[in-house]
Structure 1
Amino acid sequence: MPKRPNSVEELNLTHAILQRIPKGRTVTASELRQQLADAGINRDLRTLQRQLDMLSENYDIDRDDSSKPYRYKWKEFAKGLSLVGLSPQESLLLTLAEQHLNSLLPTKLMKSMQGFFTQARSQLGDKSKTKREREWLEKVRVVSTTQPLLPPKIDPLVFEQVSNALYANQWLEVDYKNAAGKRTETRVMPLGLAQQGQRMYLVCRFDGYDNERSLALNRIISAKVSTLTFERPKDFDLKQYDDDGRFGYGNGQHIKLSFRIDKDAGLHLLESPLSLDQRVVELDDAYEITATVVDSEMLEWWLRGFGDDVWAVNKEVISVVTT
């Protein structure tokens, strides 16, 4: 039997290590140490090595000591903690989360979860027990509402630094090139991360300013987390920032929009309204739509996309934005 831990802290450490030892591949003590550190569990390398040696003697864990660093994995037929800790449904959920939330979770968190993702994939590979769950991955898909485009390339190191700074409320040193090609090296306060279609944006405040800007991650040439932390502004709300149309190149100004649209082109607006107060008047050959929306360039692009199927467009300002 395993040696009984002498404290709750040691028990928690043992459990965390066992959860992160993979099956079907090996891991080193250094790799485990980094995974634990990303999860907020900091231990020196020698402590982990001693713990792994003890665990390999008392559990079905293979220790490959043919060369250094030693490598560890669960034995082929060992239950490990994966079958105890993850049901087939939980494995499915984790696999979907890894696929679709990869860019919306802090890099440190994703790294600390790699052991669980590996366990989930391994469990779903057991065809005798997870047939329905494996089939589900082929039954669902997120589809684009516009012409599909390949995502712009984002430097993985940049994304890691940005997400880590955002997670820890730390200032971020960036080298940024805007759409016009102007390059700026500055320090920013990261406040939010947003995915718009295939593009990722960092909402931030430049050092010395109290207004927000959105930086396209693919245009950040380099980024480095500062050791300086900040108090997250209480007057900033990412949802409100989005509701105000900032990602659609607006300034938060609300308008009463009205237009007429051909019935075939506008039928979807009866099912997916522009706003909660949308009103529709059915005419002989068209719908007359009235709704309160945020004015933005994205709204203009949307209206122009209908071509001659939209006419009689009118905008009435109902709120004035003050700066």
Structure 2
Amino acid sequence: MTERYTVTMFVAAPGTPLKSGGTSSAGHVYYVVSDGEKKTSYGFAPSEHGASSGPGKVYLEDLDNYLNPLYQRKLEITESQFNKLKEFGENPEKHGFSMEYRGATNSCIDFMWGGLNHAGIHRNNLLKRPDTDFEGTLKPLDNIKHIKSIPAPVPGSPENTEKDGTMPKRTMLQYLISEETLPEGQRSMLNAIRDQVAGIDQKHGRVYDPTSERISVGLLASAREQGMERVDHVVLGNAPTDGSAQRMFAVQGALNDPSHCRASVSINEAVQTPVDRSFERLQAAEQAHQQREALAMSDPHQAQSPSGMRMG
């Protein structure tokens, strides 16, 4: 009997029940390899349960621990690819993967794509070409479309299957951070903010953590309240000399353009504001935007949209 080697990529949504108890707070991705007889699961997470950063660990129990994941895709692979996936899972550091867990920049997502890339299994980019350096997108659910784009290493194999599960019951916060309800424009803005906030964190010797997430979502809400459509830059303001709180700015346009639009948050306020409250602000801003658009269609002279804060 010919052995069929396979890899299965799993995406678990926030709220996925765990066999060990409780639910997944932010979601998870992991991969499982099989030689037709034995399955081995590989996933990456903090060594300390619940931590947002710190020493990481490869977990071998994800296949059993995550109950009813939202999405899975199974592919037949070559023996060489099977061996490379196992090599990476057993010793990721040897293949250039840092074992320091950082929620926004080195997570389970980076680990799974690191293993796939090591084995020569790549997603296709917009030009339908292999993206050999792809490290995934920030949130687990946003990776589903990229997993779907991977060309099958063994086309036509009966092992090539997909399975969609059902979205688990979630808390309000888990529902909001799933982000499948955010319009594409808002998701793009939020991801742009997160990337640049993570860069600011790194410059100051910090890692992106829940505090950074509160700042990012608060800044997104402020940007949409100002009518901004995209975020080109995130800038940490200088510490005020009058003792007031330092601010962080989102900028649409070139930094040296006097007409650029910007929005800001007080860092002290943002770090104390729960993410779900900022999402409520965002929802209110979107409703106001839709009302202005409806008014503009009925009476263009009465409709006025907020202009972002401008330099000068």
TM-score (structure 2 length as normaliser): 0.27
Of structures 1 and 2, the one scoring higher in RCO (CA 8 A, sep 6+) is 2
| Larger Rg belongs to | 1
Q: Which is richer in strand?
A: 1
TM-score (structure 1 length as normaliser): 0.26
